Structure 1
Amino acid sequence: MQFRANKKRSAPSVIIVSLIDVLMVVLIFLVVSTTFKERVPALDLNLPASQHAGSAITETDEPLTIQIRQEAPHLRLNNRTVTLTELSALLQERAQRNPHVNLNIQADEKAPFGEVVGVRDAASTAGITNIHAQVKLPAER
């Protein structure tokens, strides 16, 4: 048995062109299929649906968002738990600073209707007229 000691081996070469092609396809797939995070409220509310929902109104002053839950404590103002009495005082204070403030009400479908009416009355008493109920569009179901 004879070994060939005189033959020089060439350095191994790695062909990475096909690897780059595969990585580019994977990268394009990930970019296209990525879903971007939407603004998620602090509570998991099941909003009622509406066929004729309008678009949200924007303003320079941060709008107030009231969330009404099915379970107690029912009311949250800008992600802070409040009672109806506290809410009335806060709405009055905010309406005095800006009478054109927007009030967004996010009420769960199964939230007590009395709480929704109480929030609406507190806003009317404070002089807030831009009151909007947030609903799901049919495509969001």
Structure 2
Amino acid sequence: MEFRPKKKRSAPSVIIVSLIDVLMVVLIFLVITTTFKERIPALDLSLPTSSQAGSSATETEKPLLVRIAKSEPHLQLNNKTVTLSELRDAFYQRANRKPTITLTIQADEKAPFGQVVSVRDLAQEAGITNIHAQVKLTDNR
């Protein structure tokens, strides 16, 4: 027994305009809240702090970056693991190409101090005089 007449129902429709608005708001939110970090290699370095450190001048050629870790292998040159002899060769090669090249040393606080001294000696022996030690700045500056 059917008391109501059958109404023909139309197919449901989705309003696209409001969906686009919602998606744009979500996209803007994600872009604003995303942080972009510089990728640091797999070495877990704990740099010493300094309140007096200054920033180095920029160069057109990429400077040499030596990382000294507290565990083996200790040395990395521009994100590539090297030995002391390979480091010596790289220093001589770059110093011959550009005598004013900058060498930045990132040494872990607990890295063997002998490694830091060896790297500095190799650089000076190759003729590199612009040597920097990279540190973290303290907050009381």
Task: Give the structure-1-normalised TM-score.
Answer: 0.82
Measure, in 2, the Cα distance between the counterparts of 1:74 and 1:30. 39
Over the matched positions of the two proteins, sequence identity in percent amounts to 68
The answer to whether structure 1 residue 86 and structure 2 residue 86 are counterparts is yes
Measure, in 1, the Cα distance between the counterparts of 2:51 and 2:136. 9
Unaligned runs of 5+ in 2: none
Aligned equivalent of 2:5: 4
For residue 83 of structure 1, report the CA deviation from its aligned partner.
2.4
Aligned residues: 138
Q: Which amino acid aligns with 2:5?
A: R
Aligned equivalent of 1:41: 41
Q: Which amino acid aligns with 2:127?
A: G
For residue 16 of structure 1, report the CA deviation from its aligned partner.
4.7
Q: Which amino acid aligns with 1:136?
A: K
Task: Give the structure-2-normalised TM-score.
Answer: 0.82
Deviations 1:69-108 (A, max 9, x none): 1112211212222222332232122211110111111101
Unaligned runs of 5+ in 1: none
Q: Which amino acid aligns with 1:106?
A: Q
Aligned residues: CA RMSD: 2.1
For residue 22 of structure 1, report the CA deviation from its aligned partner.
3.3
Aligned equivalent of 1:125: 125
